[in-house]
Structure 1
Amino acid sequence: MLRAIFSNNLDSKLSGSISGTTPFQYLGFIIFWTLSLPAIWFPPQTIRHLFTAKAAVVPIAGIAFLIWAIVKAGGIGPVVHQETTISGSKHGWAFIASLMNCIANFATLILNAPDFSRFAKTKKSSFWSQAISIPFCFALTSLIGILVSSASTIIYGRTYWSPLDVLGLFLENYKSGNRAGVFFIAFAFALAQLGTNISANSLSAGTDMTALLPRYISIRRGGFICAAISLCICPWNFFKSSNNFTSYLSSYSVFLSAISGVVFSDYFWVRRGLLKLLHLYTGDKNSDYRFNKIGVNWRAYVAYICGILINIVGFAGDVGQDVPIGATYIYRLNYFCGFIISFVLYGVLSHFFPFQGIPISNIFKDKGWFQEWQEVDDFEVSKDLSVVEYGEAPKPEKSF
């Protein structure tokens, strides 16, 4: 956007290096970071209009960009005609590695979907919106990226893995029409990234931090803390090459898969859908979520760490270390391995070291589902949580 407004060679005018990146790239990051701060201020239910605008603008801009690139190239490039150079097990493992990268791309959404789905009026409205939109939108986004990169091979004689690099090259012809087109498509990209940043990063970080220190941290404050941390990790280093980016995604999912396994096991296997709302909002010693004197469920931490350890050797190999081939194969299935190990181990530990709040005596043999619909809008809690009464687990209406 800056190059479309001021000068095509604005990036070369700002020479030097800042924290491992160019001054121009750093300027873009700081501007985006600053403009993101006002969006963090608003609570989740009021920021929804940002996502409405994103849903309307971004698909139109993405499809327009794809058509522009195809017309400019006179076709979609060699991607659909290119024959694979690998076969057999190598082809299979390459497919699996690509699949893991796809899962890693929305591994964050798998975890923080409840931050938004809890505002849904019914269970079905939350389920169907995700079941339809996530596969379709991710597939469309990937398709646009692949075809634009393929078209760049014809236009420039080189394949650019980032569509934004291709968009920037359109400014070589610095006419008003190209400048306007690049500006508005780049604006749509920025709007898309802002929506993703707020939903997948700021709100989820803020929600988690409120659970750690609810007296001092709100969702808003947690979002601002997340924004401050983002300055310290130099995220532009992840985008120096396609290999850096895919390696980052794979390693990222290692940690998220282990968390997902614990959460899934706790709700669907151990507690069988049982949630006590009053217990969730108190640190009273009788709460089902107290676990011990310091309020920590050690079983979850053990399962989480083991879910990471199964992949850690393969991760070392992914960053250039010599490791056994078996560890590499396990790491190629990193999300599934981390999820399954943490899921099973948490259930086993919860069985042999039970805690208060498990509605069954044997999680391997007993059947039953204890989920009950809660009218949260009419949910009233006494300010004095010490007087809250703790009831017994509800009896299941049916077993299956």
Structure 2
Amino acid sequence: METPSTWKESAVEKWRNFRFALTSKQAFLDWVQVPPFLDEDGKINEWRNEDLSPTPPEKRTWSWFNWVVFYFSSGFGNWTLGSTMVGIGLNWWQAIIAIFLSQMISSTAMYFNGRCGITYHIGYPCVARSVFGMWGSYYYVAARAALALIWYGVQLYSCAALLDNMFRAIFGHSYTQIPNHIPLSEGITSRRMMCFFLAWLAHLCLARLRPNQLTKFFWAKLIVLVPAMIGLFIFCIANTNGNVGPLYSPVAGDKLGWLVMFGINSGMGNSATYITNQPDMVRWSKKKNGAQWSQLIVNPITVTVSSTLGILATASINNKWGLDLWNQWDLLSAILDRYWSPGPRFAIALCAFCWTFYFMGINIGGNMLPFGSDCTMLFPRYLTIPRGNYLVTFAAFAIVPWKIEASAAIFTKFLSGYGLFMASVASIMICEYFFLTKGNVFISHLYDGSKANKHYYYHKGWNVQATIAYVIGISLPFPGFVGTLGPNVSATATHIFEFGWLLSFWTSFIVYYLICWVWPTRNQRLIKEMGLGWEQMAEELDVIDGTVISGESSSENGVELGKEGVVIQEKSGDQISKEVI
């Protein structure tokens, strides 16, 4: 831990380095580049840096209890998830069942998609390289980075809306009468811009941290969230005597089945980013089972319980007050409109602060850190996870999220439907790892972009089989997805889109498996020829500080590190053969 004196010395040294970087173009380029990663022969590896390398043991600090806290704090705040399912014909218990089923499916997908990251301690960019190719992976990583950037700005604006509630409750009319100097056409006021800046500043303070340094932050998020959510629920129910009114009108017949599928798909969209992000998070875990079993058990329960509280509380308030509110900030504002006395104002200020803290945690874990991880692959010589975190934080202003919130119900639907594009990615990754390569990943080849990389270069750097499966998987629900943006499409296309995430996932999964069964990739053929068992590369190899070293093997067949790369040794009778991989 740095003392004040060492911190001061470090800051002075950084300032001197920055001043020197401004003396010339070459000095600036040297300053912005991250420390290069050197191969065994002393050459700089352009495909690798500290964060792309496997997580070393000393940074694997997350225990099973940390994962319970993380998934509990992430899942328990899903207050508005049920709002997508009410008013469409599902009654309250049908909506709850749809939410629970969607989260069970999501958690199962998270369980399987995290296996590679937790076994080899590598993030999503490296897993993508192993599946989609050294060059093909750029599309899939960039697509997720773009989604993370947009959602980061949108959720940052949600924090600003909650801060607006808090300041209104604390300062009253002195705050609400702040003059506005921003044109109405911009879609934001001066006071809301101030709140956005403060929320942005709070995110900026945490941008320098990696996931292994955020355990206390997620602990704090859990501590402040639970009382705030339960307190808001108790107020709504007590104020209305628990009368949710006639909001839920039951639907029977064939239409009910489609509505249930729509509800499940909506719930899947809520977890789509976490499914894809799993390797980025679980790579920091101490043990394999800690992260996987924690999310499989905790996530469905907490999301279902919190969504149920949100459905019942907001439905009762809407029924009594004649409103149509579902998000937290509009609900808190409506309460202030009706209860303008010191006690309620203090409670609203405290509640708004706690909800702001929750949205910060969701934004950091679900958007900022994944974007930072993606940047390490897109620009490995210039960006690390902290630098990527800073980049997305500064870019949040550029996407003007207040205009997105103000103008675009259509754009919000686009973001929700975007999950189907990520569903195909996750399904191909799971199929490759569990069914086609037997859980074997060749670590050293994840950092070789040359044609000599016989495992992951595929066809000119692209896994053609995976690309075909991906395109087919997203093409079936795509017309219905376009229909959500305004154009008229057939009822059939709309119903197909209601299967959305599940349809894309299973279509890509089945198509990729069948294609590779008939036309396997070179990597799959090599693994079959080597006779590797389940996760044998993980059992035989240790990963320490990003360097692959030989592990101990009880058999005469084994893996060792040679000068030219990883060597597979096999014995057949009296003959011993070795193959450099």
For 1:314 and 1:36, the matched residues in 2 are separated by 36
For 1:74 and 1:82, the matched residues in 2 are separated by 16
Q: 2:232 aligns with which of 48, 65, 69?
A: 65
Give the alignment's TM-score, normalised by structure 1.
0.85
Q: 1:391 aligns with which of 567, 570, 580?
A: 567
Point out the more displaced range, 207-216 or 103-112: 207-216
Contact map agreement 1:5 1:179 (CA 8 A) in 2: yes
Counterpart position of 1:398: none
Point out the more displaced range, 141-150 or 282-291: 282-291
For 1:388 and 1:278, the matched residues in 2 are separated by 11
For 1:241 and 1:381, the matched residues in 2 are separated by 51
Q: 1:137 aligns with which of 299, 302, 305?
A: 302
Point out the more displaced range, 119-128 or 302-311: 302-311
Counterpart position of 1:5: 170
Counterpart position of 1:274: 440
For 2:403 and 2:263, the matched residues in 1 are separated by 21
Q: Which amino acid aligns with 1:39?
A: L
Distance 1:362 1:282, change over 3 A: closer
**CA offsets per residue over residues 26-59 of structure 1, 9 Å max, x none?**
4433321232112111121112211111122111
Contact map agreement 2:469 2:509 (CA 8 A) in 1: yes
Counterpart position of 1:324: 490
**CA offsets per residue over residues 91-122 of structure 1, 9 Å max, x none?**
22112111111111011111112212122222
For 1:344 and 1:362, the matched residues in 2 are separated by 20
Higher strand residue share: 2
Contact map agreement 1:280 1:287 (CA 8 A) in 2: no
Q: Which amino acid aligns with 1:304?
A: Y
Deviation at 1:328, TM superposition (A): 1.1
For 1:254 and 1:346, the matched residues in 2 are separated by 16
Q: Aligned with 1:45: secondary structure?
A: helix
Deviation at 1:4, TM superposition (A): 1.5
Q: Which amino acid aligns with 2:448?
A: T
Unaligned stretches of 5+ residues in structure 1: 396-400
For 1:388 and 1:188, the matched residues in 2 are separated by 55
Q: 1:302 aligns with which of 468, 474, 479?
A: 468
Point out the more displaced range, 320-329 or 227-236: 227-236
Counterpart position of 1:55: 222
Distance 1:357 1:134, change over 3 A: same
Distance 1:190 1:82, change over 3 A: closer
Does 1:261 find its partner at 2:427?
Answer: yes
Contact map agreement 1:101 1:246 (CA 8 A) in 2: no
Q: 1:37 aligns with which of 197, 204, 223?
A: 204
1:279-358 equivalent positions in 2, closer than 5 A: 279-284=445-450, 285-286=452-453, 288-293=455-460, 295-358=461-524
Runs of 4+ in 1 over 6 A off after TM superposition: 360-363
Distance 1:253 1:222, change over 3 A: same
Q: Which amino acid aligns with 1:123?
A: K
Deviation at 1:212, TM superposition (A): 2.5
Q: Aligned with 1:3: secondary structure?
A: helix
For 1:310 and 1:18, the matched residues in 2 are separated by 39
For 1:150 and 1:209, the matched residues in 2 are separated by 42
Q: Aligned with 2:211: secondary structure?
A: coil
Distance 1:170 1:309, change over 3 A: same
Give the alignment's TM-score, normalised by structure 2.
0.60
Let me know the Cα RMSD of the aligned residues. 3.2
For 2:570 and 2:350, the matched residues in 1 are separated by 55
Deviation at 1:195, TM superposition (A): 0.7
For 1:240 and 1:99, the matched residues in 2 are separated by 27
Contact map agreement 1:100 1:335 (CA 8 A) in 2: yes
Q: 1:174 aligns with which of 330, 340, 355?
A: 340
Q: 1:146 aligns with which of 311, 314, 317?
A: 311
Point out the more displaced range, 113-122 or 195-204: 113-122
Unaligned stretches of 5+ residues in structure 2: 1-165, 550-560, 572-581
1:229-268 equivalent positions in 2, closer than 5 A: 229-236=395-402, 239=405, 247-248=413-414, 250-268=416-434
Counterpart position of 1:191: 357
Deviation at 1:243, TM superposition (A): 6.1
Q: 1:224 aligns with which of 369, 376, 390?
A: 390
For 1:339 and 1:12, the matched residues in 2 are separated by 51
For 1:344 and 1:270, the matched residues in 2 are separated by 12
For 1:101 and 1:41, the matched residues in 2 are separated by 33
Q: Aligned with 2:207: secondary structure?
A: helix
**CA offsets per residue over residues 201-240 of structure 1, 9 Å max, x none?**
1111111221222222211122223234433334345655
**CA offsets per residue over residues 284-323 of structure 1, 9 Å max, x none?**
5235223244x33343333323322222210121222211
Counterpart position of 2:264: 99
For 2:357 and 2:195, the matched residues in 1 are separated by 14
